[in-house]
Amino acid sequence: MATWEDKLPPIMREKLASIGDLTPEEKARMKAAEQLSGILAAFYKGDLDADGLWQKLKPFKEEGKVSLLKEAQLQLIDSLTLNSVGPELQKRKSGILAVETLKGQAGTSALEQTLGMIDALQARYKKELQQGYDYLKVEVERDPRTRMRQVKQGQQTVVVQLTVDEAVRSSEEWQKFVTEHDKRFSQEFARIIDRLKKQVK
């Protein structure tokens, strides 16, 4: 019968062999970390919902492995992105809050408030992106010359007329706007993630 060490990737097994025998505590910690990875993988794949995650992590609380609950939350927070879509974002937020209730601390409302900031940021991100697009669209519609592009076809250069959408999205102004817009919102998102991590105790 295969031991838990046998299930580790080859690199991990090599590292284990190179550092010699681990203490029982170190082995237990590694085994628990491997269990946590498996549980989170099942959650990400959709095999577990927030309640299922809570049930799977409950033994860690009962065994006094509270540090692993914090680690689970940190990994869930790290899996969030500014472009996380609605249902997936809500699921991960529910997972973070479910683990918080397991820890038995009064940090749930503060976490909920900070997680809500992600929704507000995403809404602002989309709204400002649309406003930038609409502004450039009006400019392109006002001046038909902005829809003309010279394109090389073999040895010849021909002038083609783009749609308004094509002209906006291929313009330097749009590219610059999107780059600056994404940079600003990514920085704001990073601040929210940093705040979340500090709230997870």
Tokens, residue 56: 């799977």
pLDDT reported for residue 26: 72
What values do phi and psi take at 159, rounded to 5?
-100, 125
The answer, as to whether pTM is greater than 0.85, is: no
Q: How far apart are CA 36 and CA 42, in angstroms?
A: 10
Residue 46 is classified by DSSP as T
Spans of all domains in the chain: 1-105, 117-201
Residues 33 and 185: their CA atoms lie apart, in Å, by 33
- Of 98, 22, 32, give the one whose Cα is nearest residue 64: 32
Structure token pair of residue 60:
């860690």
- Where in the chain does DSSP place strands (E)? 148-153, 156-161
Contact in structure between 84 and 92 (CB atoms under 8 Å): yes
C-alpha dist (Å) from residue 105 to 57, 100, 160: 16, 7, 64
Residue 53 to residue 164: CA distance in whole angstroms: 48
Query: How many other CB atoms are found less than 10 A from the CB of residue 49?
Result: 14
- pLDDT band, residue 153 (cuts 50/70/90): confident
CA distance 45 to 111: 24
What CA–CA distance (Å, rounded) separates 165 from 147?
A: 9
Residue scoring higher pLDDT (160 or 198): 198
| pLDDT per position as a tens digit, 81-126 | 988 888 889 999 999 999 998 887 666 888 999 999 999 999 999 9
Two tokens at 103? 């820890």
